[in-house]
Structure 1
Amino acid sequence: MIFKRLALVAALLCSHSVLAATPEEVIRAELDKAYPGLPITEIAPAAIDGMYEVALGTGDMLYASKDGKHFVAGNLFEVSDKGFINLTEAKQNKARAQLMASVPKDAAIVFPAEGQRKARLFVFTDVDCGYCRMLHKEIGALNAKGIEVNYLAFPRTGINSPTYDKMVSVWCSDDPQQALTEAKTGAVPASKNCDNAVANDYRLGQRIGVTGTPTLVMEDGRVIPGYMPADELAKAMGL
């Protein structure tokens, strides 16, 4: 009888261990309870024992305790012989690089490099943005340096706004390059509609944390927020 009871207890303990929630599940449940709808995309062990990194759909990163009761927001650094290594930024760069590599060809308006392509640059742009217009004046210089510029739409006023409608017209024009160039001089494009990538570009920008334009994203996922002259930009890209 005693052995039967011990066997029953053991079975119950095994059953409990099988059903016990993982730290990832606990953290997700606790954060969702405190902030319903928090766009969590991934939870994984962090470089600090007992902590977990929580990647959000906004491009941000949180670091949570195993029980999900505490978290910190910000960058996590590793101390090395070469100085401080920003582990958060490295993780975000890798995620951005993967996303940018998956951008469909027809999602962007491309200004190709002259001669051999040495680098690709993704630019989230808004036709009504002053600094975007300044950057566009540097397109020739960037292309001459072997940089292919891929414009992605990011109407700052959001989807279904007047700027969004302008950008749809640009993306749907017979000559998107010319239409974009003209729109960046203040011209209003002829109204057009088609199956276009403007809304998807905008959502992609939100996913990687774009909040303003221009936002420049390199192939390795590094981000430059804002305008930068062609010579400085090429140097930042290692050219």
Structure 2
Amino acid sequence: MSRRAIRRLAACLPAIAAIGLAVPANAQSTPTPTQSTPSTVIVAQAEAAQRQLRQTFTNLTFEDFTPSPVEGPIYQANAGGRIVYYAPKSEHLLFAAVYDRNGVNLTALAQEAAATIRLKRIDPSQALAIGPATAPTVIEFTDPDCPYCRALDRFWATKAAEGKPVRRLVFFVTGIHPEAAAKAEHILCSPDPAAAFERVYAGAAPKVLATCAAGKAKLAAHTTLVAGVGIGGTPTIIVDGHIVSGFRQDELDAFLAKAAAGAR
């Protein structure tokens, strides 16, 4: 397991202890006046749980081991694309990453499975298509005023100049910056939307922004899609059916390299 995974795992140990190690709920109760110390059974169970934790995750060092405040069974829920965990007995909501003993991030797998279902809602015909139709296709959720989206646009332009173009199916996210909707509609209403997209993302600020009924309708469709798919940040890129959150150049380079190898 990587150091980063270890740090994330250590941060969510209370959830792991509650989910995987089955510390009994009554181990967390406050002793009553007639019961000043836990029962022998509870102590034995806690000690067994601690031994199991240390034996299972041998690459981690634990300085202490105490009962979790979480009680009872824990359930998994999808909250707008984010996997969360809920313990109804103690009314705890856990924002955590759950790993198995082999270091597999079970939360990430659940999120990816949920994302796959949501991605089926995307209608490519509603997108603004940029780039040659024969190039590898990516789906891009973007915001005209997002600096990382503009950096991504420069990245794609550089790759196109290197002979590695992509077909971008663009959907606009307009709920983050106040002028994003007006600029997106301007792009969609322009005679050459791809050229207008390039100018706006290069920093152009037209004095008069174009408006039109068709552009408004398409932008409304984008807004509905963004809410349905659960896109919360920009840029969000979908490559090979996987969601890339943010401008992660290494992942995009890997995608382009894979696409180039497949074309040979």
Which bin holds the TM-score, normalised by the shorter protein? 0.5 to 0.7
Distance of aligned partners of 1:222 and 1:163 in 2 relative to their CA distance in 1, 3 Å threshold: closer
Identify unmatched segments of 5+ residues in structure 1.
Answer: 1-48
> How many percent of aligned residue pairs carry the same amino acid?
22
Whether the 8 Å CA contact 1:93–1:220 is kept in 2: the answer is: no
Whether the 8 Å CA contact 2:173–2:222 is kept in 1: the answer is: yes
Aligned ranges for residues 74-93 of structure 1 at < 5 Å? 74-80=96-102, 84-93=103-112
Counterparts of 1:76 and 1:238, CA distance in 2: 32
Distance of aligned partners of 1:221 and 1:200 in 2 relative to their CA distance in 1, 3 Å threshold: farther
Counterparts of 1:76 and 1:237, CA distance in 2: 31
Whether the 8 Å CA contact 2:99–2:107 is kept in 1: the answer is: yes
Counterparts of 2:229 and 2:98, CA distance in 1: 18
Identify unmatched segments of 5+ residues in structure 2.
Answer: 1-71, 259-264
Counterparts of 2:132 and 2:220, CA distance in 1: 26
Alignment of 1:224 with 2:241, yes or no, is no
Whether the 8 Å CA contact 1:145–1:234 is kept in 2: the answer is: no
Equivalent residue pairs, number: 181
Superposed CA RMSD in Å reads 3.0
Deviation at 1:181, TM superposition (A): 1.0
Alignment of 1:56 with 2:79, yes or no, is yes
Counterparts of 1:217 and 1:183, CA distance in 2: 22
Provide TM-score, normalisation by structure 2: 0.57
Distance of aligned partners of 1:54 and 1:154 in 2 relative to their CA distance in 1, 3 Å threshold: same
User: For residue 55 of structure 1, what is the amino acid of its counterpart?
Assistant: N
- Counterpart in the other structure of 2:152: 135
Deviation larger for 164-173 or 192-201 = 192-201
Three-state SS of the structure 1 residue aligned to 2:191 is: coil
- Counterpart in the other structure of 1:107: 126
- Counterpart in the other structure of 2:222: 201
- Counterpart in the other structure of 1:97: 116
Counterparts of 2:85 and 2:157, CA distance in 1: 43
More strand by share: 1
User: For residue 97 of structure 2, what is the amino acid of its counterpart?
Assistant: N
Three-state SS of the structure 1 residue aligned to 2:174 is: coil
Provide TM-score, normalisation by structure 1: 0.62
Distance of aligned partners of 1:234 and 1:154 in 2 relative to their CA distance in 1, 3 Å threshold: same
- Counterpart in the other structure of 2:60: none
Distance of aligned partners of 1:129 and 1:73 in 2 relative to their CA distance in 1, 3 Å threshold: closer
- Counterpart in the other structure of 1:32: none
More helix by share: 2
Three-state SS of the structure 1 residue aligned to 2:213 is: coil
- Residue of structure 2 aligned with 1:213, choices 234, 241, 248: 234
Distance of aligned partners of 1:92 and 1:199 in 2 relative to their CA distance in 1, 3 Å threshold: farther
Distance of aligned partners of 1:234 and 1:214 in 2 relative to their CA distance in 1, 3 Å threshold: same
Alignment of 1:157 with 2:173, yes or no, is no
Distance of aligned partners of 1:228 and 1:70 in 2 relative to their CA distance in 1, 3 Å threshold: closer
User: For residue 197 of structure 2, what is the amino acid of its counterpart?
Assistant: L
Counterparts of 2:166 and 2:233, CA distance in 1: 22
Three-state SS of the structure 1 residue aligned to 2:104 is: strand
Whether the 8 Å CA contact 1:94–1:220 is kept in 2: the answer is: no
Whether the 8 Å CA contact 1:113–1:145 is kept in 2: the answer is: no
- Counterpart in the other structure of 2:185: 168
Counterparts of 1:177 and 1:97, CA distance in 2: 28
Counterparts of 2:227 and 2:130, CA distance in 1: 23
- Counterpart in the other structure of 1:184: 201
Distance of aligned partners of 1:182 and 1:121 in 2 relative to their CA distance in 1, 3 Å threshold: same
